Structure 1
Amino acid sequence: MTLLWGTYPAAGLGTPAGLGEGIWAQAGTGVGGAAQVLDLPAPSFLLAHPRLPLAYAASELPASTLTVLDVSRPASPRIVASLSTGGADACHLLLAPDARTLYVSHYSSGDLAVVRLGEDGLPVDDAPAQSFSHAGSGPNEDRQEGPHAHSAVLAPGGGHLLVCDLGTDELRRYRILEDGLLESDGIAATFPPGAGPRHAAVRGHLIYVTCELDHVLRTLRWDAASATAQVVAETPATLAPARSAEPQDAHVALVTAESRRHGGDLVLVSVRGADVISVFDVAPEGELTYRGAFDAGHWPRYFAVVGDRLLVGEERGHRVRAYALADVVGLPPERGIGDIAQLPCAVAEVTSPACVIAV
């Protein structure tokens, strides 16, 4: 197994792309050095095909592109297809369960694009089959001047696709048709003004949404009959104080009891500025209890559990970290409010890491 890291330009998000950034490879344990193996402009989000030796890269550009990589030799990935996604600053990819449809979220334009894939995992068209725009804004004039589709997730039950729109404080709803194409179906949930929903994780009938702008992790209960979700609980994403900047929530993920091999489920949240990952225990019925936070380096944008490791990219620290999942699971409750624990980790240099996958 090999880890592939997608990166931003060396000067960071929002700076000119195509100046040497690209894909980096590292041994699958996350221990040991990493090396750049492909030049690609701002591949900020990567996704692996579940069955084929392919990976998909979203280049976060004013005119975004989707690139398909042959990763049968991970140390030398090869571009096999590319197409324009039709939107600005693609920042998230989601594959349908049958891997025949790819959903692309665009931050700056707010569009959601739908790309059809063949049995070989390659796009069947030279452009997205569908593109859904949106309208609206929020009270944060700097960040909510218009719609900002930040990520997509399958709703509980799998009948709808939900898009976290940071700009309009909404969960946009799309009905999934038999062929994987979508039908716009209104709004599933509305958040408090200025919340800025960014990423979501689903557990049963509950949806955990991390909100970047007001720094709150919200639990929503999905109602299948109405295809709507209601906020039922709220908690700060961390109690750790600001260290490098004002806290901004980034990514949320569920660690199941099966993947951690004992105990109950966990929810993890990365918080930039505080520069930590927060650990929440999940009660059987889904209630979250904050356990504590541990240092995750400078600006931990994205993380992923791969095998028995937790992998974290320090976007502004230009490093990647690999923690033993057992250490994360065993994090003791904080002794004082806002304490930041230190966990052992392996560290490697990667310029502006934004996302990681295992192939």
Structure 2
Amino acid sequence: MTLLWGTYPAAGLGTPAGLGEGIWRSTRPDDPAAEQVIDLPAPSFLVAHPRLPLVYAACELPASEVVVLDVRRPAAPRIVARLATGGADACHLLLAPDSRTLYVSHYSSGDLAVVPLGEDGVPVDDAPAQLLGHSGSGPNAERQEGPHAHSSLIAPGGRHVLVVDLGTDELRRYRILDGGLLEPDGIAATLPPGAGPRHAAVRGHLLYVTCELDHRLRTLRWDDASSTATVIAETPSTLAPPRSAELQDAHVALVPGHGGDVLLASVRGADVIAVFDVAPEGELTYRGAFDAGYWPRHFAAVGDRLLVGEERGHRVRSFALADVIGMPPEGGIGDVAELPYAAGEVVSPACITEI
């Protein structure tokens, strides 16, 4: 097994890139000791091709690019292609289910790049086929002065790409066509002003959206007929208080539990991962939160382990997934559990992928 970590510059997000940061590699999820295997400027998000020995890295730069890596030799990955995405600060990649299109979300310019891929997994051209922009803003003058596409996902039913826009409090909708996306296609959902939606997880016809700015986790129900989603429930992302800074919600994902699904959400500032039990019909019940280190940005379940990147702690933590899904309910409101973990050094970890 090989695990790759994308990183920010050592001084952190927003500082000059290309000063020696890059991609780190570890080989055992239970022992996250890692080494840097290639230099790249701010490769903050990675996605692996499901069938080919390729990894796509989004370099989060004012003039962003996607780098395609051949990882047949994981200890010495080789660059096989790089493509300027046309937007600013690429922060998320989505590979289409058929692996023939890569969707690139740009935080600062707020747009989505559509990159067709050949049978060999390499971009078919030297520029995106589409760069889909957007307009709008939100009430948070500091963070919502314009659109900020933070991530994208395939909508329930598989007919649309949804862009989660932190700046406009919207999920933008694009119909999937042969060779591209339909523009414009509309707004799939509007969240409360100032919510700041960031990432989403899908379970059947439900979407769970973590909102960075108002620290709420919202459940939306997707309607196939109208291709829209409606907020049906919301809950605080954690009851744990701020520790290192103001709360900033980050990543959300579903994992199987003993009696059903469990939803995990990382919350920076509180520096925890919150644990929610998911009822068969989708209702969330907060169970508690555990200490995830300094500024837990991204996490992933790999085999029987949960791997968490401490972006500002410059470490990764490896928890037994059984300990996470078996964590008892909090003893008091806002309690933070301490779970055993193994740790390894990675400078400014931003994202993990398994190859």
Give the structure-1-normalised TM-score: 0.98
Q: What aligned pairs does 1:1-359 form with structure 2 within 5 A after superposition?
A: 1-255=1-255, 257=256, 260=257, 262-359=258-355
SS of residue matched to 2:81: strand
TM-superposed CA distance for 1:351, in Å, is 0.4
Q: Is the 1:101–1:181 contact (alpha carbons within 8 Å) kept by the matching residues of 2?
A: no
SS of residue matched to 2:322: helix
Output the amino acid matched with 1:303.
F
TM-superposed CA distance for 1:28, in Å, is 3.2
Output the amino acid matched with 1:201.
A
Output the amino acid matched with 2:141.
E
TM-superposed CA distance for 1:30, in Å, is 4.2
State the alpha-carbon separation in 2 of the partners of residues 2 and 13 from structure 1.
Answer: 25
State the alpha-carbon separation in 1 of the partners of residues 68 and 156 from structure 2.
Answer: 29
State the alpha-carbon separation in 1 of the partners of residues 184 and 162 from structure 2.
Answer: 10
Give the structure-2-normalised TM-score: 0.99
Percent identity of equivalent pairs: 79
TM-superposed CA distance for 1:27, in Å, is 1.3
Deviation string, structure 1 residues 308-347 (Cα, Å, up to 9, x no partner):
1111000000000111111101000001000000011110
When structure 1 is superposed on structure 2, of 170-179 and 203-212 the one drifting more is 170-179
State the alpha-carbon separation in 2 of the partners of residues 28 and 340 from structure 1.
Answer: 27
Output the amino acid matched with 1:250.
A
Change (3 A) 1:105 1:32: closer
Q: Is the 2:247–2:270 contact (alpha carbons within 8 Å) kept by the matching residues of 1?
A: yes
Q: Is the 2:129–2:180 contact (alpha carbons within 8 Å) kept by the matching residues of 1?
A: no
SS of residue matched to 1:326: helix
Output the amino acid matched with 2:324.
V
Output the amino acid matched with 1:346.
A
Q: How many residues align?
A: 355
Q: Is the 2:220–2:229 contact (alpha carbons within 8 Å) kept by the matching residues of 1?
A: yes
TM-superposed CA distance for 1:136, in Å, is 0.5
Q: Is the 2:29–2:307 contact (alpha carbons within 8 Å) kept by the matching residues of 1?
A: no
Change (3 A) 1:30 1:37: farther
State the alpha-carbon separation in 2 of the partners of residues 38 and 293 from structure 1.
Answer: 35
Deviation string, structure 1 residues 95-130 (Cα, Å, up to 9, x no partner):
110000000000000010000000110000100000
Q: Is the 2:3–2:353 contact (alpha carbons within 8 Å) kept by the matching residues of 1?
A: yes
Gap runs ≥5 in structure 2: none
TM-superposed CA distance for 1:263, in Å, is 2.0
CA RMSD for the aligned pairs?
0.8
State the alpha-carbon separation in 1 of the partners of residues 28 and 353 from structure 2.
Answer: 10
State the alpha-carbon separation in 1 of the partners of residues 279 and 180 from structure 2.
Answer: 34
TM-superposed CA distance for 1:358, in Å, is 0.8
Output the amino acid matched with 1:129.
A
Deviation string, structure 1 residues 201-238 (Cα, Å, up to 9, x no partner):
00000000000000000000001100110000000000
SS of residue matched to 2:316: strand
Q: Is the 1:177–1:183 contact (alpha carbons within 8 Å) kept by the matching residues of 2?
A: no
Gap runs ≥5 in structure 1: none
State the alpha-carbon separation in 2 of the partners of residues 154 and 32 from structure 1.
Answer: 31
State the alpha-carbon separation in 2 of the partners of residues 43 and 181 from structure 1.
Answer: 26
TM-superposed CA distance for 1:180, in Å, is 4.7
Output the amino acid matched with 2:146.
G
State the alpha-carbon separation in 1 of the partners of residues 145 and 293 from structure 2.
Answer: 31
Q: Is the 2:116–2:179 contact (alpha carbons within 8 Å) kept by the matching residues of 1?
A: no
State the alpha-carbon separation in 1 of the partners of residues 111 and 48 from structure 2.
Answer: 22
Q: Is the 2:132–2:183 contact (alpha carbons within 8 Å) kept by the matching residues of 1?
A: no
State the alpha-carbon separation in 1 of the partners of residues 250 and 279 from structure 2.
Answer: 23
State the alpha-carbon separation in 2 of the partners of residues 106 and 30 from structure 1.
Answer: 33
TM-superposed CA distance for 1:178, in Å, is 2.9
SS of residue matched to 1:93: strand
